[in-house]
Amino acid sequence: MVVLLDRPRWPAHGTLWAHLVSDTSLAELHDFASRCGVPRRAFDLDHYDVPAERHAELLAAGARDVTGHELIRRLRAAGLRVPAVERPVRRALVARWEDLQPGHPGVGEEVLARWGEPHRVYHSLAHLTAVLDRLDLLAAAGEQVTPEVRLAAWFHDAVHDGASPADEDASAELAARLLAPAVGVARAGEVARLVRLTAGHETAPDDDAGHALCDADLGVLGGSPQEYSAYADQVRDEYRDVPDADFRRGRVAVLHRLLDRPALYRTAAGARLWEAAARRNVAAEITSLRAGR
């Protein structure tokens, strides 16, 4: 176990503060902090803020004294450093998770860590935020957005290796495993069921929960032309290793399957908000892809 502690030199609230981190895992960090009586509220995304008066005590408990430069270097090397540009987004998502599932911060941290993986471009923290925002829009319009639907949004791309439906299956299994102790096996199973629907966005006529989740996920198709173009570019970037001809062929097939549906959106609000624009955007992308652009 390696827990690192820099020197207290960050002034706030009338004292100096140090940073306590792990260069192995957040689970190790939380375990050490808990054993030392450092409150969970002192945790800030990738570190605990600890006051100067506790510095010697934490070193005696096993933390390793390092410089601030060394602490940041080790944290980055471990892939645990949250970049400054991401911190506002992550803090907002942490607050949303706490509102949704209070008392289980560790689950939220694991899910957020997956959404923040460096290989992601479209399926990122921004996409998670956008889906949650669209669920809020649907709920405000009177659609059925249950806590299970919101949990499914958090998990629906938690595993993303670029293979469908394998990613959705793995995300569903992760949801079932992490949520069962928190919400019970039955509710965790419903979340997993909803997550699997996002592989093909095919829902039964009476599946109101499934309609809401899938509509929120596909809502990106109904953005402005500029927003849609940015989305399409991000998708291409995620599949940058696929040759252009193969990507265009596969992408056109996916888009045609969407346009062949009688309706892209199954909720009344989703249809009103996004259907017309989505059909224009998807048709325009097909034309562009066929022209080799």
pLDDT at 45: 94
Q: Are residues 96 and 194 in the same domain?
A: yes
Q: Are residues 24 and 144 in the same domain?
A: no
- Do 109 and 233 fall within a single domain? yes
Domain boundary at 81, 110, 125, which? 81
Average pLDDT score, the chain: 95
Can you spell out the DSSP letters for 115-182? HT-TT-SSSSHHHHHHHHHHHHHHHHTT----HHHHHHHHHTTSS-SS-TTHHHHHHHHHHHHHHHHH
Judge whether residue 293 has pLDDT over 80. Answer: no
Q: CB of 198 within 8 A of CB of 186?
A: no
Same domain, 110 and 239: yes
Tell me, what's the pLDDT at 1? 66
- Tens of pLDDT, residue by residue over 230-260, are 999 999 999 999 999 999 999 999 999 999 9
1-58 pLDDT tens trace: 689 999 999 998 899 999 999 999 999 999 999 999 999 999 999 999 999 999 999 9
Instruction: Name the residue with higher pLDDT: 119 or 293.
Output: 119
Report pLDDT for 61: 96
Looking at the structure, tell me whether residues 22 and 102 fall in a common domain: no
Q: The tokens of 286 are what?
A: 């097909």
The answer to whether residues 40 and 160 belong to one domain is no
Strands 3-5 and 15-22 come out as: antiparallel
The pTM assigned to this predicted structure is: 0.88
Q: Each residue of 176-212: pLDDT tens digit?
A: 999 999 999 999 999 999 999 999 999 999 999 999 9
Mean pLDDT of 256-274: 97
pLDDT at residue number 292: 80
Residue 13 pLDDT = 86
- Distance, CA of 261 to CA of 16 (rounded, Å): 61
CA distances from 218 to 63, 75, 278 (A): 47, 36, 9
Question: What pLDDT score was predicted for residue 4?
Answer: 97
Tell me if 130 sits within 8 A of 115, measured CB to CB: no
Q: What mean pLDDT comes out for the span 138-162?
A: 96
How many separate domains does the chain show?
Answer: 2
Q: What percent of the chain has pLDDT above 90?
A: 91
Model confidence at 264, pLDDT cuts 50, 70, 90, reads very high
Question: Does the pLDDT at position 162 exceed 90?
Answer: no
Same domain, residue pair 162 and 145? yes
Same structural domain, 265 and 162: yes
| Residue range 103-113: mean pLDDT, rounded | 93
Same-domain pairing of 146 and 96: yes
Residue 85 pLDDT > 90: no
Same domain? 121 vs 175: yes
CATH number of residue 108's parent domain: 1.10.3210
Task: Please give the residue range of the domain that contains residue 72.
Answer: 3-81
Same domain, 194 and 259: yes
Q: What is the mean pLDDT of residues 46-75?
A: 96
- Residue 8's alpha-carbon distances to 12, 74, 104, 134, 142, in angstroms, are 11, 18, 30, 43, 51
How large a percentage of the chain has pLDDT more than 70?
A: 99
